[in-house]
């Protein structure tokens, strides 16, 4: 158990809908990362937050957004969902942001868009 929790574990929804994925980092970790894992694209970095502020952006679509709250949990919002958004979404946390220290991954949320 990495200490990172993600809810829900599974999510099934329809095209055009909006969903919110939640992540709680390890105790003491200030940095949160979001990743998308699909068969087509592999594992892609989406976005990073550090202590409430956006720190780095990867291949995140404009329909997707994220935030990190004062208690350091983070949410990833996916809107106007398309079939191609079906994937496993991982959250990871680490202590710092200014160097590549170890990231601890949550178990993921499997999103299915029908």
Partner 1 sequence: AQSVTQLDSHVSVSEGTPVLLRCNYSSSYSPSLFWYVQHPNKGLQLLLKYTSAATLVKGINGFEAEFKKSETSFHLTKPSAHMSDAAEYFCVVSVETGGSYIPTFGRGTSLIVHP
10 makes contact with partner 1 (CB under 8 A): no
The CB-side HSE value for 85 (13 A sphere, CA atoms) comes to 26
The CB-side HSE value for 96 (13 A sphere, CA atoms) comes to 4
58 makes contact with partner 1 (CB under 8 A): yes
Name the residue among 27, 20, 32 with its Cα closest to residue 64. Answer: 20
User: What character string, x for contact with partner 1 (CB under 8 A) and - otherwise, covers 91-110?
Assistant: -x----xxxx-xx-xxxx--
Query: How near is the Cβ of 16 to partner 1 at its closest, in Å?
Result: 29
Structural contact between residues 58 and 44, judged by C-beta atoms closer than 8 angstroms: yes
Q: Which residues bind partner 1 (CB under 8 A)?
A: 2, 4, 42-45, 48, 55-56, 58, 90, 92, 97-100, 102-103, 105-108
């Amino acid at each position: 158990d990495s200490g990172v929790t993600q809810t829900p574990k599974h999510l099934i929804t329809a095209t055009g809908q909006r969903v919110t994925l939640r992540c709680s980092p390890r105790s003491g970790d200030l940095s949160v990362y979001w990743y998308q894992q699909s068969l087509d694209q592999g594992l892609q970095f989406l976005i990073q937050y550090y202590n409430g502020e956006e720190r780095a952006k990867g291949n995140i679509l404009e329909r997707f957004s994220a935030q990190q709250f004062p208690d350091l949990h983070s949410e990833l919002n996916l809107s106007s969902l398309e079939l191609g958004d079906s994937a496993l979404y991982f959250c990871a946390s680490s202590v710092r942001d200014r160097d590549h220290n170890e990231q601890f991954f949550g178990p993921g949320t499997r999103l299915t868009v029908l």
